[in-house]
Amino acid sequence: MITVKTMQLLSWKQLAKRASVSVSTAKRLRRDDPEFPRKIKISPGRVGFDEAEANAWLAELIRREVEVYRKEWFGCMIDIDDPGQLGGLLADLERLAGRALS
């Protein structure tokens, strides 16, 4: 039995929206970031991006940003194995930053 993985494709606009950037910024990120999701040519002039690959790339961007915050705010690294915990950690860091500023 052969199992075929169903792939959901994102357009430039959908990928940019998911990353909270403009399409032109997303295209610049693709040019500058070797980890950016690979383009899949759909037809002449039309490309898509594998949704799972795009989500993994965004999770990695968030993880890297969290590391920067950890180093700047705490001067240390804290390991997180579950990417789902990153959102909660960011909220905690923002709350701590708000307390430090008030």
pLDDT in tens, 63-96: 888 777 766 666 555 555 555 566 666 677 667 6
- Mean pLDDT within 35-44: 93
Q: pLDDT for 4-29, tens place per residue?
A: 577 899 999 999 999 989 999 999 99
Region 9-101: CATH code: 1.10.1660
Contacts of 76 by beta carbon, 8 Å cutoff, 6+ apart: 70
Contact 43, 4 (CB under 8 A): no
- Say what the pTM is: 0.62
SS3 letters for the chain? Answer: CCCCCCCCEECHHHHHHHHCCCHHHHHHHHHHCCCCCCEEEEECCEEEEEHHHHHHHHHHHHHHHHHHHHHHHHCCCCCCCCHHHHHHHHHHHHHHHHHHHC
Domain spans, the chain: 9-101
Confidence of residue 102 (pLDDT cuts 50, 70, 90): very low
